């Protein structure tokens, strides 16, 4: 059996190799961008593709025309939100936007004074491959659950929890 000092050296060498093989965590900015992209893409996937006036009754749109204007403004607003947050749109979502308006010359942001830059707040590791985070613009947010696969974070559940608005 090697002397204790040699075993210690071997142990230190093996530890160094093991640490070097471990996947390094993502830089915070890259991780946060992944989380924001996941949340925003999920929100867009939930948008209705066609206008149904009854869907806007909860917003108290007084006429079908005003409900239609709200439907259109929703799509345009999400387009600008995606742009502000540098979210690359997959082809299918891009096509959905293109069915609503001309992507070469999109309409102006219907809410230009509202800052829709999303932020990650209170990122919490739950286990070695799961986490939660409060995500949203400065005036609101929701807690989302994520799972880590390789070096990429994905939404674990489509439904957020603990939403707030100020």
Task: Provide CB contacts within 8 A for 79, sequence distance 6+.
Answer: 97, 101, 106
pLDDT: which is higher, 153 or 49: 153
Q: Where are the domains of the chain?
A: 26-165
Region for residue 38 given its phi and psi (left: phi exceeds 0; alpha: psi -120 to 50; beta: otherwise): alpha
134 band by pLDDT with thresholds 50, 70 and 90: very high
* pTM, two decimal places: 0.78
114 Cβ contact partners less than 8 Å away, ≥ 6 residues apart: 137, 139
Q: What is the pLDDT of residue 64?
A: 78
- Which is nearest to 135 in space by CA: 156, 123, 119? 119
What's the pLDDT score for residue 46? Answer: 84
């Amino acid at each position: 059996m090697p002397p204790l000092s040699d075993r210690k050296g071997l142990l230190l060498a093996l530890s160094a190799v093991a640490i070097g093989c471990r996947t390094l965590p993502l830089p915070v900015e890259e991780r946060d961008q992944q989380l924001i992209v996941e949340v925003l893409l999920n929100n867009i996937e939930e948008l209705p593709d066609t206008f149904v006036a009854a869907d806007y009754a909860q917003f108290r749109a007084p006429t079908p025309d005003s409900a239609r204007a709200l439907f259109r403004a929703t799509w345009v607003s999400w387009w600008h939100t995606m742009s502000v947050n540098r979210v690359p749109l997959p082809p299918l979502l891009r096509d959905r936007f293109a069915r609503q308006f001309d992507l070469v010359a999109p309409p102006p942001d219907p809410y230009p004074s509202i800052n829709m830059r999303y932020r990650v707040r209170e990122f919490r590791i739950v286990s070695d491959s799961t986490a939660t985070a409060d995500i949203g613009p400065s005036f609101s947010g929701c807690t989302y659950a994520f799972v880590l696969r390789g070096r990429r974070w994905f939404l674990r559940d489509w439904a957020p929890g603990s939403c707030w608005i100020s």
